[in-house]
Amino acid sequence: MAPLPLPLLVLPLTLLVLTLVLTGCAGDGAVHGRPGAAGVRDPYFPRLGNGGYDVQHYGLTLDYAPATGRLKGTAEITARATQDLSAFNLDFAGMKVDSVTVDGERAALHRAGTELTLRPHDDVARGETFRTVVHYSGVPLRITDPDESEEGWLRSGERAVGLGEPTGSMAWFPGNHHPSDKASYDIRITVPEGLKAVSNGELRSERTTAGRTSFDWHSAQPMASYLTTVAIGPYKTRTAERAEEKAVKKAGEKAGSKTAEETGKRADKAGAGTATVAALPIYSAVDPAVAADSARLLAELPGIITWQEKTFGPYPFSSTGVIIGRKGDSQYALETQNRPFLPGPTSVATLVHELAHQWFGNSVTPKSWRDMWLNEGFAEYTEWLWAEHTEQIPVRQSFEEAYEDDDNWAFPPAKPSSAAHISDPPVYGRGAMVVHQVREAVGDAAFFRIVRGWLETYRHGNADTHDFTAYVEEQAGRDLSGIWDTWLYGDGDEKPPLD
């Protein structure tokens, strides 16, 4: 056969190529994703956290050898894609990654600093739930923060504690380590027999086999990763239950009558006698080196929780307690979820502060580290309320003492000057002053109603400063920009006059 004229041959081939291209783009049913962001642009830690997915659950299996400090871990991370994903990142510092799979298929891995970039075998469709499994091992890092405090994995002989604020949890498990991504957790820790491993949530089982003991902890309520903890050591544990307390109307109180909350004469009575508190399991752990000196804190804890529930509303988690290590086991107390970690017996006021965080910070968690004052300002204010409740020190007196402290005026509480200063005095003391200014502006009855409503509205979620100011103004029915402009955002070069 003689060859066809060239134009007649080219046209069908062109049409065939065009048809194949269009079919591949639109008709093959495949997902064509893009990489998730490495970092969520936090104002102070821009590379922290990752975009493109939302973690639903962490399953952590940890095996720790105190003699060498070596940790073997498996992280099973269940997440939902918020975009079509071709790759995504996890935050992880230090230890070796042994293998990674996504939905059972080996994933390609690239590591740069604290960023793990995973490329799954198949792209993940938006809205799809996927499961990532990371096996890792090594000696976890002790991380130094911008403010020179230490976090991460803090080891001291046979003892160790994992603390995470703001970035330390990435030292002992990979994840999406930004407070805006909360999840439920199951944490299993295996240690030599004779040691305890205490974590968040409830202890589901404790089993010893061949000289090693495994502790299984379950946290059903969402938790930001910086609030996770594992405390390993020769702890003495104590279990109890805070008894249920039914609501009892105070003698002589009539419907519609003014309560102490309304008169404002005693803030500690806000809501007292009108709240029902449910039975609550208490699991605490104390290092034997400080057991005797910790007795008072353990005795005070149930009453503190009850008082806080009557002031702020229902306790947001299914158990409580405290972990009391030795002095020097960490440089600071931390509000780890369910049970705060204390470096040795502290003052009762410190325990009050850390337990207040179960509402302010742990249940209602900041959207970014710029919003730390919402955690610390309210926790500091709770200390003032407690001092009034137990020592008859008026809240106004505590406010005035904070006002006179020049350290509280170094920068606006809602705008720390850098990552090194997110835990400085203005975030605490001046943050508490903002809270009190709101109270004085709206009155006691409205104030406590607003605070309880705020905690209920954002329960187990995230919120930022704008959410708070908008909520307060909506509930108060008035413009409070004078407070925000002066006390929350004002540079503090000149202290505002006191009324």
> How many whole angstroms separate alpha carbon 448 and alpha carbon 439?
8
> How many whole angstroms separate alpha carbon 360 and alpha carbon 308?
11
Report the side by side order of strands in the sheet with 280-286: 236-242, 280-286, 323-324, 341-342
Render the burial of 445-463: b for 16+ CB within 10 Å, e for the rest.
ebbbbbbbebbeebeeebb
Query: What pLDDT sits at residue 259?
Result: 35
The answer to whether 132 and 79 are in contact (CB under 8 A) is yes
Q: Is 279 exposed, middle or buried (0-12, 13-18, 19+ CB in 10 A)?
A: exposed
* E runs forming strands in 249-290: 280-286
Q: Mean pLDDT per segment of 10 residues, for the chain of length 499 residues?
A: 36 35 44 94 97 98 98 98 98 98 98 98 98 98 95 98 98 98 98 98 98 98 98 97 71 36 41 69 98 97 98 98 97 98 97 98 98 98 98 98 97 97 98 98 98 98 98 98 97 89
Query: What pLDDT sits at residue 31?
Result: 77
At 269 the three-state DSSP class reads helix
Rg (CA), the chain: 26
**pTM, to two decimals:** 0.90
Q: How far is CA 470 from CA 370, 451, 474, 475, in A?
A: 17, 13, 6, 9
> How many whole angstroms separate alpha carbon 104 and alpha carbon 21?
31
Query: What pLDDT sits at residue 340?
Result: 98
> How many whole angstroms separate alpha carbon 203 and alpha carbon 176?
24
Q: How far is CA 52 from CA 42, 75, 80, 107, 128, in A?
A: 15, 19, 9, 17, 11
Query: What pLDDT sits at residue 266?
Result: 44
Helix pair 348-356, 295-312: axis angle to 10 deg: 40
